[in-house]
Structure 1
């Protein structure tokens, strides 16, 4: 079956409206703030404008105020939103809220959707997702999950420490992964819980200082100490947390890629404009072979990333796990985006390093993406393991059929 690359007319129109909105409304705010929004007033201002433009929460269902876009349609719109660092925040499609909305829409009960999803989609509150833990707890290896949840009368008591919880400062609730059976290192036994931020057993320990600063609400360390939640706080089924997390994992990796690809395009546009106007050694930069090579390589990286994202999104829309496709797309795009922004800064020279353009901010923001949502090395290991397992299975099948082993 062929993969349709061009969005339909309705999606194309939404993407165009998003592009116009980002350029006319978001970028002026972003340039004024240096790419970082730290106050609720800025978030509220941008989101109100996005609602008025009819482009708010395009990924959620119409019953929650969105457009119900599938993954391929999201690719077109999210890329346009990502053209500015604050574009995703304006459309309410920034991490982690966007991924949490997707998860809640698929997994949550009707009561949970009313209490958590509806106000989250409306922009009335924010959320976070607490999976990662300080070493030796869960990180790239989710099975190392050490936070525990044990049954108590009427509910569960959660104990553990989480860190790198993006958006936790000011979040109204946490989706927390805790171990309800087994031991750290076991592949199963996890459960997701909805924990309200005002729970007395939940404490924000500290802000973690990081290279990036644009993800709203920061990256925090949390402590859950005798944090008691009711039975209705279970999201999904007990002991099925890792399975349910797959609903969020692949799509969230791809939406990250879409957003950062938009920013790579912005960096390329800044570099091309500079190369076209900057005169050195009797010609413009754009006439020099070395600058042309960097511009061309940027175009190649952008196009290749978009193609890999689209392939993975098509598989997700078909209901497949898309584990291999999303791992390949995430690994390549995270590294390609870095290359594009780095080349763009190099083309701009001293201007690129200065604060007069935002390329330095872009570089700091995109670098961690090679670690977030799984480091490139972990994805490469998984990609290779799937390939070698498939080859081993094919050889075993051939041998079992009586055919000689090659």
Structure 2
């Protein structure tokens, strides 16, 4: 029986982006093991969700290998432990394919596979979900991450990139093959709202029918930049633009809105404190982890995605797939998906005033304009549908086995 290893630095990474890849490998005749740090303190998943995903892997027949944490680059003892664990598993099991991902995890796993590539012909696939060097990134990112990625590409058989900028940069490296794949794919039929979802969710949250609902969904970490939305809303509030107890009746136009943040993560308490300190309790509501995201989408009017750094954001693609207009940061990955004034509006992720302008544009749009933007986004997502991505991945997995590894 052929064997493959799916490696990610966390359970979230493996189960959020790779269940389809595991199924593809199984359909190709592979027994698939999964290696990751299952109990990560910074997990974007609740304990219940983690248990559900572990059960899913068990049902798929995957053996789960629990590794040390690979989140922190300076935790040398954990990195060394993970390296030894992965090296031992790879050499003992003589996998035909090892599929790894994430900047730190991808480095450690590829280092651990060097001997197996030479002795057993193991093919190593590295999926870059967004290089840490990109246009506008700090110089230190280019000095460190660029050179590390370039070096590790020497023992990479297939380097997968998910946006155009990364694909261009990866072609300067030494991987045997570089491929562009349109992300992990989005299930364009996944988010089907229940009957009456819009009214039901709004009633649950105490939101009027005439309130414009802004929504962000995803992991609550600094990189996702939720704080910038709070700063922008603070500016709008201070300038009397928002309908509320402190609004200035002389200011026009005035916006009646509510910003919903769905998700969990390590800065959750920090965001709650910021909402309070900025006096935004009337305008912002944190929902925590939600299983009914489809219904929350249905209750919303504009999707806000303020992230500083992305590869090709699944959360944004999911919002686009249900027909929401978008206000998002003008960064790599986002600009592969959104063109200014078509599916939404772009802003500088470091400038809250830029976000204020983008929000004002979207809030001022007539309902039919927002609907048209949403339809554009749904059409865009057809090229990123899971079926399209899965067909590409199946071809890559099939072809790599016959390829000759780098020395």
TM beyond 0.5: no
Higher helix content, 1 or 2: 1
TM class by smaller structure: under 0.3
- Give the TM-score, by structure 1 length: 0.27
- Give the TM-score, by structure 2 length: 0.27
